[in-house]
Amino acid sequence: MSGNRAVAYLKPGTVEVRTIDFPTLELQDGPGVARDNVGRKCRHGVILKVLASNICGSDQHMVRGRTTAPEGLVLGHEITGEVVERGPDVETIEVGDIVSVPFNIACGRCRNCKERKTGICLNVNPARPGAAYGYVDMGGWVGGQAEFAMIPYADFNLLKFPDRDQARAKLLDLTMLSDIFPTGFHGVVSSGAGVGSTVYVAGAGPVGLAAAASAHLLGAAVVIVGDLNAERLAQARSFGCETVDVSQGDVGEQIAQILGEPEVDAAVDAVGFEARGHGRNAEEAPATVLNSLMSITRAGGALGIPGLYVTDDPGGIDEDAKSGTLKVRLGLGWAKSHRFTTGQCPVMQYHRGLMMAILHERVHIAKAVNATVIGIEDAPRGYAEFDQGVSRKYVLNPHGVLDGLQPV
């Protein structure tokens, strides 16, 4: 095989579906590939036929021009696929297996991997701890918004679904295991939420909705989702969340109308560095969500922060923001003894348990995030509509296996 249709970033606001090389078990030079990773042999890897690959808000940050992503970078870190080739050192994964791919690339050998901190593996990215597929400064591993993709360290990284037919039937839910479902779940777990908790989730995009569904799964008494997008707030209400429209005034006052008090037990930032200020016609203010969450989280509570923050933002509102330096009210968090958890979600801590919850009908994550299937050729439209704020989680369908599947 020679051709491989894939979605590539061209310039701010523009992606293109183009033909790239069929993957091999060796990392080739290309846009964004770390120099020291070129030629890296992956006898421990597999080639996947990509059955589903999702458009993520993190991809959208790059497409908006808010990172240093190079032209031609193949996008996509949310990958579910079928193994069509395996390297000679792969032992437990077989050709024909249907698998979920954690967006974190992890070697399974380093200190951090052995401590289950797979989001900051020390061996897969020469530039810094942690790597991902199709993402700027994350090692240059080719993205999975494509027909085929190479996955290294397959025995360690891949989550094999126990039954092929069941996996295909539930693929629209299972594809969320690669990133947004574990990421939202991690945000809620790290916020300390549990049975009987009151939880506030800032942001009703796909990760925020996944966090809200996760809070329900963990037994929260009340889940409140805040956003300024009416369509996304309606989607949150569709599965039992309370909502706050942050364009309509003080968040604490609106929470008090729901709970009888202006604070919650646990809070999740599912917005990240492109946050806007609260109130009508508010401009971008990247520390707004973090400061708001400290205000509305009870003393002794915690903030889970799965929302993305970056070290380089060419479109930042000022010189501080361009380097990821934000005006955070740390004194307020200190005074209230808040705990903060940041960074990439270590997907492998959660994905098997969440798979079981999906397979046994304990959660319907595709319905919660309004999963919407489109063809790979429609990816540019999907990116444009997602950027305009539609309340959909776009799932690319490179080989047609998702035809006819709907969220249930």
Tens-digit pLDDT profile for residues 165-223: 999 999 999 999 999 999 999 999 999 999 999 999 999 999 999 999 999 999 999 99
Supply φ then ψ for residue 186, to 5 degrees: -60, -40
CA distances from 24 to 1, 44, 144, 205, 226 (A): 11, 12, 14, 35, 44
Residue type at 90 in one-letter notation: V
- At residue 179, the pLDDT reads 98
Residue type at 32 in one-letter notation: G
Q: Please, what are the domains in the chain?
A: 3-179+346-396 (3.90.180.10), 181-341 (3.40.50.720)
DSSP state of 5: E
Q: What DSSP assignment string belongs to 373-390? A: EE-GGGHHHHHHHHHTT-
Residue type at 144 in one-letter notation: G
**N residues, the chain:** 408
75, with CB counted inside 10 A (0-12, 13-18, 19+), is buried
| Count of CA atoms in the C-beta half-sphere (13 A) of 350 | 28
- At residue 172, the pLDDT reads 98
CB 397, CB 403: distance < 8 Å:
yes
- At residue 58, the pLDDT reads 93
278 confidence band (pLDDT: 50, 70, 90): confident
In angstroms, the CA 189 to CA 302 distance is: 10
> Which strands form 339-341's sheet, in the order they lie side by side?
242-245, 222-227, 198-202, 264-269, 297-304, 339-341
- At residue 83, the pLDDT reads 98
User: pLDDT per residue over 60-119, tens digit each?
Assistant: 999 999 999 999 999 999 999 999 999 999 999 999 999 999 999 999 999 999 999 999
279 confidence band (pLDDT: 50, 70, 90): confident
Residue type at 330 in one-letter notation: L
Residue type at 106 in one-letter notation: A
DSSP state of 28: P
